[in-house]
């Protein structure tokens, strides 16, 4: 398994955070209240953002231990 470089890990984590924030801003959150498809898509985006941040944190922790 190859790890991301620290710079790429930080960028991946930042992109994951951006996805999380975009998924919960009021216009999008209000739209998901009325549309079930958007609601479940929002859940998927939140999951993907969390996964990206988790991978980034893992790679940063492993790189810090070297």
Residue 48, both tokens = 């993907």
| pLDDT at residue 1 is higher than 80 | no
Average pLDDT over residues 46-55: 97
**By three-state DSSP, how is residue 46 classified?**
helix
Kindly report the pTM of this predicted structure.
0.89
Domain ranges of the chain: 6-65
Express each pLDDT in 5-41 by its tens digit: 999 999 999 999 999 999 999 999 999 999 999 999 9
Q: What is the pLDDT of residue 20?
A: 96
**Cα angle 45-38-56, degrees, rounded to a multiple of 5:** 5
SS3 assignment for 5-41: CHHHHHHHHHHHHHHHHHHHCHHHHHHHHHCHHHHHH
Residue 11, both tokens = 């960028």
Work out the pLDDT band at 55, boundaries 50, 70, 90.
very high
């Amino acid at each position: 398994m190859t790890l991301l470089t620290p710079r790429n890990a930080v960028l991946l984590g930042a992109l994951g955070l951006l996805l999380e924030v975009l998924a919960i801003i009021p216009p999008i959150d209000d739209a998901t209240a009325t549309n079930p498809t958007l609601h479940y898509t929002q859940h998927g985006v939140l999951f993907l953002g969390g996964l990206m941040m988790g991978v980034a944190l893992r790679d940063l922790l492993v790189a810090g231990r070297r």
